[in-house]
Structure 1
């Protein structure tokens, strides 16, 4: 079986073995594509051909260490110990082999001992702990960059070091400014300089990848559109890099590209599964692509691709994978199985929701169980089956209490997501009881909780609570508040941070247009209608309200 098509990227290193060079290039590409397990295997293959290749040892150390998605603090104790031991041992070997390396290679290798200064992890409660190692490594890389600014890999590794000090905290979403203590502007300046002055930077998967991550939380995600467009097809068999530009697409309302390119990423990753199976950490990245397809398709109003992706996500996440204890795969992956419930609610599949059977193992599938009970409660509420809805809510509350605080949907805890679910369900139930003020209070609280979630892309809560709030406000004739709700969701009023907006989504466009029409607006309504018509041109289902929990059609 031929190896993956990783494109032409590479870096010439000190080795007499062409095979070692080839495997190093593959490993470095995988590092930049965030497939660190496969990268380590490639670097080890390089060492089979050249045991004294200093940069291959460097690669093992680098790939074994922390990264933007898995910093030290997210590693479980066993995983952290294994990662540090591997990185420390490889660092020693790299240093031992560095004599015949080039000056820049020796510099990169020389930065490793400050990143991995000992073989055993520091206690978790020791301050500043292993974060001090990250800072020391960044200082070392800053010095190396000052002497080797023309080296794009050095530039990339320096920016990576900066971003790993404050992963997913590069921007304050509320202020639109860099997070206090984050060297965001320095990282952006280093990357911008490369793209403005060196054409080769547009062929560098690491620089392009980091730029997307750096800019996605900013007030100007469109700044990374061109980088994303270049990255999409640069490394054809890296599903993660095929997918990565859609972090920007979704922020810009390009939902069709979100679906299309994540479907392409899913196809690319099937090659990885054929060779490597699913029992690996990269499964988290694969499932991330399915998650994105679901999210984009829901905003497009396309049930079929959303449900197909939700089902394939379930099918590609076997129980055996969830039972891997280190890293704790159930904590990382099981909550994604519940995404199917969001699809069913989004498209009003109330009877299908009610007919679902709960998982047999409700401890392993605790997040899924809670979300299914939430969905059943909403479905019964919408159908006016109040007694059944109350029973479902009680069962949901009990299931919610059994979900451990370690369960995650990437950057969001399941606990936080289920807090939103609790408010949404109570809002739907009280609404059907005719207690509208109480219902709207719950739904407004759901909006507040959703707006307070740590940044994630896509959001773990898949249907913006504003869509239900706006739909039910409209149903009761509260046009002014409903209009404000939709304007915020679309980003038209500037009140929501950029990352919390959902530009040009068909659901809120429909709601806003209805508000304008019902209050007799003849100026803005035609403009919104044009945008709505464009969005509706791709929908698979008729859009009659911003949430199908609204029983009275517009």
Structure 2
């Protein structure tokens, strides 16, 4: 009998291959014109296909590019679009599969066999070909950089071609490692896109890629305008409704994030984009928890099994969120609900699943281990840390270095709190400080609205327990610089300031907490009752 994890794997991965039904061109997808040498009838289909592609509607875009080929079988650029579809979401974490590389190369070869009609079109195809020269994980970043450089050359040769500039900018943002804190490539990408957005304000790719280019803590404010416009430009694309919440999450605009993801999840459900629906739900739950709307969050926690049960292989569609985003959300949502509310018993009782995605499994083990450590169930905490070490090693063997690093941070954090539970205070603080240094050197993946618990926030809570409120306050304030309006950091900053005798800071952060939680449940969390009493 097929176990639940295997069934879920089939359902989620089937979205990438299921038979699609072509969309009507009456959709609201924004305005795109990508000039080609294809027939006039095919050109109309091509513009529609590229509009879908710019919003990462990969299943529908594939249908649209196939419609181009039906209209003009010699339209080589249709295979360019299919080649980018095989690469899928350029910001999805992890290594592209060998199957993707083979399929992408096949699309490029099919295009080149048609002898593209213009030098410009050959430039687009030769650029995409660089993504598919080799299936090995070790060369993935080099291949992305080669694609970026080829798009830079193409854009320079054709300065009148806005699409070349747009895809060059997208390649710049894609090529920047999460460890690069200069953001030189993202800033360059943003500058290109912002200039074009003034000229083409209804272009979906421009709004979309500005959000991606600035999807870092220190740049996100630059994307707020694009975020507020993107969903209106392409309201028929579920991802266009969700993507603004990446910016809203970064800047702490929780109610806008909630509204964005309510709309996105509903649209994704209607279109059977299961990964996108679960991904939007994870972001929505996170926003509810930051505003202490716990009843709404719990409703979604309880809804996840129903989402899984209604998945239908034959009607599944490929959207922006890859299958792993579905696994990640399924693990993250209950973990967040327990940890954000500091319900340690609920966290400790989580039963982790075994899935094909080790870093998704790690979310459950982290929550379980943290719950055990906070309840002083030291053996359980050490067991979770050991499991995280095995998941880290598995990710290393899969050459998923970024995720191996993220799981290592989680392992160190659990170990730190286990040491504290065991009375080893100095060792605990040292380990938590190590976790802070590791986390400061990287950034969150786009698949998650945030870590289950930021390392500096955890260090602040540890220092509070050790009777060091002033040092704790410093850590909470630093957390807020990266995670503005985050509930636990705001409360920590206020409470630690109160204990340290800093009434000015205490009143400031308690007031900010109450403002952030103006939609909170009543009577609500004890932290809000404390804030109201100040």
- Give the TM-score, by structure 1 length: 0.76
Matched residue, 1:349? 343
C-alpha distance in 1 between matches for 2:381 and 2:484: 34
C-alpha distance in 2 between matches for 1:437 and 1:129: 42
Matched residue, 2:500? 519
Shift in alpha-carbon separation, 1:526–1:269, aligned structure 2, 3 A: same
Shift in alpha-carbon separation, 1:311–1:516, aligned structure 2, 3 A: same
CA deviations 1:250-279 (Å, max 9, x no partner) are: 221112222221221111111221xxx65x
CA deviations 1:493-532 (Å, max 9, x no partner) are: xxxxxxxx11122322222222332333344443333212
User: Secondary structure at the residue paired with 2:233?
Assistant: coil
Matched residue, 1:326? none
1:60 touches 1:90 (CA, 8 Å); kept in 2?
Answer: no
Matched residue, 1:50? 72
User: Secondary structure at the residue paired with 1:74?
Assistant: coil
Shift in alpha-carbon separation, 1:544–1:418, aligned structure 2, 3 A: farther
- Where do residues 414-493 of structure 1 align in structure 2 (5 Å cutoff)? 414-457=403-446, 458=448, 461-491=451-481
RMSD of the alignment, in Å? 3.9
Shift in alpha-carbon separation, 1:365–1:315, aligned structure 2, 3 A: farther
C-alpha distance in 2 between matches for 1:61 and 1:376: 41
Counterpart selection for 1:158 from 139, 164, 168? 168
1:516 touches 1:525 (CA, 8 Å); kept in 2?
Answer: yes
1:138 touches 1:162 (CA, 8 Å); kept in 2?
Answer: no
- Where do residues 120-199 of structure 1 align in structure 2 (5 Å cutoff)? 121-122=133-134, 124=136, 130-131=143-144, 133-135=146-148, 137-146=150-159, 148=160, 151-164=161-174, 166-168=175-177, 172-173=180-181, 177-179=182-184, 182=185, 184-196=186-198, 198=199
Shift in alpha-carbon separation, 1:212–1:122, aligned structure 2, 3 A: same
C-alpha distance in 2 between matches for 1:303 and 1:320: 30
CA deviations 1:39-69 (Å, max 9, x no partner) are: 1221101222333445545433454457633
User: Per-residue deviation at 1:306?
Assistant: 3.6
Matched residue, 1:246? 245
User: Per-residue deviation at 1:232?
Assistant: 1.8
User: Per-residue deviation at 1:208?
Assistant: 1.3
1:367 touches 1:414 (CA, 8 Å); kept in 2?
Answer: yes
Shift in alpha-carbon separation, 1:88–1:160, aligned structure 2, 3 A: farther
Query: Is the aligned partner of 1:226 residue 2:216?
Result: no
Shift in alpha-carbon separation, 1:68–1:371, aligned structure 2, 3 A: closer
Matched residue, 1:9? 31
CA deviations 1:313-356 (Å, max 9, x no partner) are: 565568998xxxxxxx8866544432122321222333334444
What are structure 2's unaligned runs of at least 5 residues? Answer: 1-20, 314-321
C-alpha distance in 1 between matches for 2:172 and 2:195: 16
User: Per-residue deviation at 1:225?
Assistant: 1.0
User: Per-residue deviation at 1:390?
Assistant: 0.6
User: Secondary structure at the residue paired with 1:233?
Assistant: helix
Counterpart selection for 2:122 from 110, 113, 116? 110
C-alpha distance in 1 between matches for 2:205 and 2:61: 14
C-alpha distance in 1 between matches for 2:164 and 2:486: 40
User: Secondary structure at the residue paired with 2:180?
Assistant: coil
- Where do residues 35-46 of structure 1 align in structure 2 (5 Å cutoff)? 35-46=57-68
Matched residue, 1:102? none
Query: Is the aligned partner of 1:383 residue 2:375?
Result: yes
C-alpha distance in 1 between matches for 2:290 and 2:443: 21
User: Per-residue deviation at 1:481?
Assistant: 0.5
C-alpha distance in 1 between matches for 2:369 and 2:302: 22
User: Per-residue deviation at 1:364?
Assistant: 4.3
2:208 touches 2:243 (CA, 8 Å); kept in 1?
Answer: yes
User: Secondary structure at the residue paired with 2:236?
Assistant: coil
C-alpha distance in 2 between matches for 1:355 and 1:334: 19
C-alpha distance in 2 between matches for 1:301 and 1:440: 29
Matched residue, 2:316? none
Query: Is the aligned partner of 1:296 residue 2:284?
Result: no
CA deviations 1:11-31 (Å, max 9, x no partner) are: 27566665x455323311121
CA deviations 1:55-112 (Å, max 9, x no partner) are: 54543345445763369x932223201111112212433x45x3xxxxxxx3541313
User: Secondary structure at the residue paired with 1:216?
Assistant: coil
User: Per-residue deviation at 1:226?
Assistant: 0.8
Matched residue, 1:89? 110
1:487 touches 1:512 (CA, 8 Å); kept in 2?
Answer: yes
1:88 touches 1:118 (CA, 8 Å); kept in 2?
Answer: no
Aligned length: 494
User: Per-residue deviation at 1:2?
Assistant: 8.4
Shift in alpha-carbon separation, 1:393–1:373, aligned structure 2, 3 A: farther
**Max radius of gyration: which structure?**
1
What are structure 1's unaligned runs of at least 5 residues? Answer: 99-105, 322-328, 492-500, 547-552
